[in-house]
Structure 1
Amino acid sequence: NRNETWDSACEVHRQRCLCNTADPGCRHEELRHVHIDYYGTCREMPECSENDLADFPRRMRDWLFNVMRDLALRNELPDAYLALEHEAESNMTKRWTNAAIWKWCELDGHPHDNTVSRHELFPIRAPLFALEHCIAPFLESCDPNRDHRISLQEWGKCLELEEDDLTARCAEIAKDEEANASDLHDAFV
């Protein structure tokens, strides 16, 4: 990104659209991939040291699990993910893996294509950007082939999880969510 302040999120998306369609209104070719890092005034972020970056996967795994657990305790975790949370609570070896699967599935929203794009990362990046100076280089390292997409395997490797422990459960979770939504709709019809 260009460390640039924009007047609105709408203007960022407009400029990206203009550049993606080769419109003469495109200010610079690299704006095809521009995205919002965070909202608010510009901040001078400290450098992410090698040691901080090396420790970041552990901090991120802990944070993901704690957020998942807190959402479950407040009854704000969608039902489809509760089984992952319960399994993580009762089986310590599943704690970090299930939290990683939960967040990755949640981020893989639109379109649901079994990859997480840089734009789909915004809900995790923006709130952490001001608090965690290593979030940007960490997320960059999750996309080693630089295709602007993170697969579940890349996500797991980035979080230093065993690949054998990761299974793409998002499709079954999405089906459960659809079934629950359908049941809820039927209850109100």
Structure 2
Amino acid sequence: MIVLIVADRGEIMFRGTTIIAVKKGNRVAIAGDGQVTFGDKTIMKHTAKKVRKLYNNTVVVGFAGSVADAMTLSEKLEEKLEQFSGNLKRAAVELAMEWRNDKILKKLEAMLIAGNKDILLVISGNGEVIEPEDGIVAIGSGGSYAFAAGKALLKHSDLSIEEIVKESLLIASSICVYTNSNISIEVI
């Protein structure tokens, strides 16, 4: 379902993904590619789903990180959303604090993007909760490519946010070997 996976400490692990999100007005579109790569040379899966909706379909998230870590963080974010009545900013800050300070959680290797009608955020295990200034953010191995494409499309086209995230991932997939063109998109 959710996958980015990072090589760490010389161990061979799954690796590679690209997630991009665009917020315009009270709408958010988030997209992820479907490739799961093992090591540097083997594609294990083409159709992984790395984006999903949470909290009664009012929050959309995308993950870059190991599958187990991403699932754990997804569940933790949903718990925090329940605890704070859907307040995404508060839930994200509380998740980041817990993630950073908990002995078990701080070992998780992942990042996530979360958005709703009010806000778009990047949440990391370093305790960072960042709201992008331009309403666009991307993470993962192809994130820089998708981000650059998305910024240009957002500024210089009349494409919808769904079209922007899709085209940005298609561009990233043509450059990044860890990104494919099997794209999942969720919109709120």
TM-score of Structure 1 vs Structure 2, range by shorter chain: under 0.3
Greater CA radius of gyration, 1 or 2?
1
Give the TM-score of the pair, scaled to structure 2. 0.24
Q: Which has the higher helix share?
A: 1
Q: Which has the higher strand share?
A: 2
- Which has the higher relative contact order, 1 or 2, with Cα contacts under 8 A spaced 6 or more apart? 2
